[in-house]
A and B are shown apart, each in its own frame.
Chain A
């Protein structure tokens, strides 16, 4: 198991309501028998504390927390806290039984959407604050195996003799309409609401709190740990491509989840395949959409897609990069993932 996954689980645990309620229940439970004198503090675990925890500072600062425990009580307390990430992880992920598609809970919040670094295209500006509600997002891109449960004869094809059609590879050569049809089919089948993510949801989930060019920072040379991109091995075969200066070991799309996830536990948010989003594309959307849950569904010839793919270089694989294509368009590096509305 990756270190990033463990740290991500801990952070998710600290972010969760469950953590706060655990502390509260714990307080009530051990207040009397252990003569727990810091109970008042427990009642007041605030947002600031959670932010402190995210930033690596101890949530229970010694100055504020003057508690006296007896030994068994301390052990019980530590045990319960240690269980938190596991319990929260179990609570925050869900596997849809008919397709095996996993979704991860993404707690809503606000963030700076757009070209936060300043080297993007004009359609990524102005940077503006956007807030999204809670939602569940596909942990991985939809795979060929999952898509074939909906459309058994789908063939993602090959790229210059290299297969894109293995079960665990992300589905490609799907139009926006096919992606939407899949979401409708799954919604009908499960009774829950699945759909494509909006651009705002997608970028929120991709950034996972980061304000950098990529969710792992600003260094393109780290790309091959986190994303399947146009790399040095691709450069050997396709010499004219602009590539990252690292080697991710894959020439074309990789099986989903082959790289490290972002801080929300989402895999392949950058690289591997482009992902369709719900919005009709508008280059001026950032100037006119509302702050809360923005989505553009006006008139327009194009739909948006995000994330970059296995054939793209540093300029294309960025969290704020926006591309538009006609919804009928389907190609070898264009797939999708779904969100489930809470």
Chain B
């Protein structure tokens, strides 16, 4: 084929491509317009809701480079199209999506998940206890409040809104430094859902504890079986009135397993007694008092020392 003929063939091809691309773009703009029907823009919202607008402006959602409301339709990204609401003169929940107690929690959460679903933390939201219990994002977060993670209150205080029993435990004399602000509920739990029990961040309680208390992990030559099994056997992680967040006072705690006649060589009360087993006598060692068992067994989580002749361990 001659070059001249090729040129004449190309011209209609170019026109064809141009018209196809035009029709596609016009179709898109029509769709966009249709999708935007009923939207009025944040400037109108601001007219009445200036306080909410100002607080929203101070949050990450208002930053244009973040894929959030500001890069979409600002207020109406979450609250839905507002034209009817404006026409009717407003009012809470009047032809507008309001995040109040009467609104379906699932619908409220869906608004947030429209953007946040892809985040790693939210992966197990649908199977979480919070979702099952009809908790929604706005119970803890508010896009109209600044602060860390747009939380409605300071860190664990958000959790205490519902978990008041835990708040009571945390205020006991022996507690994790939650109220001191050094750790928070979210250090152990993922409120957005996990596959683990109690929405814990690790598969087992021990794994979770070892993240901070690595020295208790072992492995040890002499292992203390309940430690290996579950830290909760002896400790209450939310707080206790006994030292070291123990569930009971020592030696009562130890006696749960090391009872009289037990396999571990008898009760601590008979451990130092020269009289008959189980009878406290004047000869009972003063070591039994004060720190009790831990006076002689300080490495209660496990030890690497040799056992004594009578099988005693955890002494180093």
A residues sitting closer than 8 Å to B (CB atoms) are: 121, 159, 230, 238, 240-242, 274, 302, 305, 308-309, 311-316, 321, 323-325, 331-333
Contacts and interface: CB of A to CB of B under 8 A. Distances in A.
Contacts of B90: 323, 325
B94 interface: yes
A51 to B, nearest CB: 35
A240 B83 contact: yes
B225 interface: no
Contact of B86 (A302, A305, A312, A325): A312
B238 to A, nearest CB: 35
Given A242-B83, A313-B88, A331-B47, 8 more contacts: A121-B88, A241-B87, A242-B86, A242-B87, A312-B86, A315-B84, A323-B94, A324-B91
Which of B47, B89, B92 has the most chain A CB atoms closer than 10 A to its own CB? B89
B41 interface: yes
Nearest to B48: A331
Contacts of A313: 86-88
B269 interface: no
B40 A241 contact: yes
Contact of A323 (B44, B84, B89): B89
A324 B48 contact: no
17 contacts: A230-B87, A240-B39, A240-B44, A241-B40, A241-B44, A242-B84, A274-B89, A311-B89, A313-B87, A315-B84, A323-B90, A323-B91, A324-B92, A325-B90, A331-B47, A332-B48, A333-B89
Contact of B89 (A159, A238, A316): A316
A181 to B, nearest CB: 22
Which of B40, B41, B88 has the most chain A CB atoms closer than 10 A to its own CB? B88
A242 B89 CA distance: 11
Nearest to B90: A323
Nearest to B41: A240
A311 to B, nearest CB: 7
Contacts of B48: 331-332
Contacts of B83: 240-242
A317 B47 CA distance: 18
Contact of B88 (A323, A331, A332): A323
